[in-house]
């Protein structure tokens, strides 16, 4: 089946993840190869969508307008590199708020699916954590995990504990190459699940 869209996590996947949160442009540092990967994904001609938990907003550490400005900056960098990001979906809530949009819940994916007319079973999600894998499962997307986040070194062991068999690659560049192979080969299998 043809891939309809690529979803991307932000922190740990596209940029360096900080334990104290990204709260300004100065703290937003792209990972090596991120812009080239975004360009490669953009060339597929399908939506490229960022879905990100930003609890620093709910914790009062950063304003929503600042996060939006950081995303505008990222989108601008991407455009100047020949790529694009079609949309950003943000959960601003703290984990204890039990909202429906905080990954691993599928709310952000469902919103994007409605906005773009997507079948989530025909979408890929690239993330860097077990909760990203769980989010992909909840949304019925095909997951690919990268080792560039805080869980990177332990990710293979964590996935083994969950008996998860999925692509685990070094970085977003390797993930983009994997997605391009799926796209060109037209071999993305539909998951046996119904999106929540």
Distance CA 54, CA 94 (A): 8
Does the residue 190 lie in any domain? no
Q: Residue length, the chain?
A: 196
Distance CA 76, CA 145 (A): 25
* Sequence-separated (6 or more) residues with CB below 8 Å from residue 107: 91, 99, 100, 101
By annotation, the residues acting in catalysis are 9, 11
Q: Is the preceding peptide bond at 104 cis, omega within 30 degrees of 0?
A: yes
Does the residue 25 lie in any domain? yes
Does the residue 85 lie in any domain? yes
**pTM of this prediction exceeds 0.95:** no
Does the residue 144 lie in any domain? yes
Using the predicted structure, report yes or no on whether residue 187 has a pLDDT greater than 80. Answer: no
Q: Looking at the 3D structure of the chain, how many domains does it have?
A: 1
* Sequence-separated (6 or more) residues with CB below 8 Å from residue 18: 11, 27
- The answer to whether the beta carbons of residues 18 and 11 sit under 8 Å apart is yes
Does the residue 196 lie in any domain? no
Does the residue 52 lie in any domain? yes
Does the residue 191 lie in any domain? no
What CATH number has the domain bearing residue 153? 3.40.50.1000
pLDDT at 152: 64
pLDDT category at 193 given cuts 50, 70, 90 is very low
Beta bridge partners of 11: 15
Average pLDDT over every residue of 128-139? 92
Does the residue 143 lie in any domain? yes
Query: What confidence tens digit (pLDDT) does each residue in 15-30 have?
Result: 999 999 999 999 999 9
pLDDT at 76: 98
pLDDT at 195: 42
Domain that holds residue 33: 5-185
Supply 106's token pair. Answer: 């599928």
């Amino acid at each position: 089946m043809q891939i309809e869209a690529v979803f991307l996590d932000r922190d740990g996947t596209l940029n360096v993840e900080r334990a104290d949160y990204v709260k300004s442009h100065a703290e937003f540092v792209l990972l090596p190869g991120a812009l080239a990967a975004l360009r490669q994904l953009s060339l597929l001609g399908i939506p490229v969508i960022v879905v990100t938990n930003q609890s620093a907003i709910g914790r009062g550490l950063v304003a929503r307008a600042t996060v939006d400005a950081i995303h505008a900056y990222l989108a601008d960098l991407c455009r100047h590199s020949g790529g694009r990001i079609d949309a950003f979906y943000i959960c601003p809530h703290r984990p204890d708020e039990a909202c429906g949009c905080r990954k691993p819940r599928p709310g952000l994916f469902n919103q994007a699916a409605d906005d773009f007319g997507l079948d989530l079973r025909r979408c890929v999600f690239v993330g860097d954590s077990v909760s990203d894998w769980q989010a992909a499962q909840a949304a019925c997307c095909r997951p690919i995990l990268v080792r560039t986040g805080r869980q990177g070194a332990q990710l293979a062991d964590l996935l083994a504990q969950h008996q998860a068999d999925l692509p685990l690659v070094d970085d977003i560049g390797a993930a983009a190459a994997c997605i391009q192979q799926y796209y060109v080969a037209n071999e993305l299998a539909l998951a046996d699940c119904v999106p929540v």
